[in-house]
């Protein structure tokens, strides 16, 4: 891949990562509930989903999903339903001032955080459609395909990890002071609950 083309990929990938969405909301929620360091497990789950989307597009399956209204809608409504479920659960979560219970919540299993991040991103058919439009801009058909896809995947994943962890999870640190009392926790739970539900509804209604 030419260096100038790679720079364009870095620029596009950075803009995409900074665009708020379900992944950003999930990352900030994890950072608030489990801490900055442990939020990386949810981010890694989101990256696994991103890699799956790239593989799907590279194998040509993405085109089938994008061109099949039934397949697209099944994935779309499943993703929307999952986000709404996460939103309602967050909205109804009770404040935790008991030290032992709060400590248990902050130590959510890594696999649980990884799995949630995976589902948040993978159940988004619009990501597949996006990559169908995005990836061809940086792939040259007259050159070996595998090395190009590996470079694209590595670049996009590294950028997204850095943005999610150091920007969105880092931003969540500024809200930590609100978690010290019951009212602050209740407000944050409702804010992030509404955000999850809002993104889920948008995924369901916007074609």
DSSP 138: G
Give domain limits for the chain: 22-205
Token couple for 64? 């089938």
One-character DSSP codes across 78-117: HHHHHHHHHHHHHHHPPP--SHHHHHHHHT--HHHHHHHH
How do residues 23-53 score in pLDDT, each as one tens digit? 888 899 899 888 888 999 999 999 999 999 8
What's the pTM?
Answer: 0.78
pLDDT at site 175: 75
Alpha helix positions (H), 98-181: 99-106, 110-122, 125-134, 145-163, 170-172
């Amino acid at each position: 891949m030419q260096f100038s083309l790679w720079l364009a990929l870095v620029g596009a990938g950075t803009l995409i990562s900074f665009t708020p969405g379900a992944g950003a909301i999930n990352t900030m929620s994890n950072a608030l509930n489990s801490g900055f360091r442990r939020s990386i497990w949810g981010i890694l789950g989101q990256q696994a989903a991103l890699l799956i989307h790239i593989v799907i597009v590279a194998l040509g399956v993405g085109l089938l999903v994008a061109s099949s209204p039934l397949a697209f809608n099944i994935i779309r409504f499943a993703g929307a339903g999952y986000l709404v479920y996460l939103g309602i659960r967050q909205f109804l979560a009770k404040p935790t001032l008991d030290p032992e219970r709060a400590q248990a919540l902050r130590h959510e299993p890594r696999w649980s955080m990884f799995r949630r991040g995976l589902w948040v991103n993978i159940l988004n058919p619009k990501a597949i459609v996006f990559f169908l439009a995005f990836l061809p801009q940086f792939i040259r058909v007259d050159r070996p395909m595998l090395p190009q896809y590996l470079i694209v995947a590595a670049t996009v994943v590294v950028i997204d990890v850095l943005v999610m962890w150091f920007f969105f999870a880092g931003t969540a640190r500024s809200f930590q002071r609100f978690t010290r009392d019951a009212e602050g926790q209740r407000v944050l739970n409702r804010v992030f609950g509404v955000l999850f539900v809002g993104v889920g509804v948008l995924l369901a209604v916007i074609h």
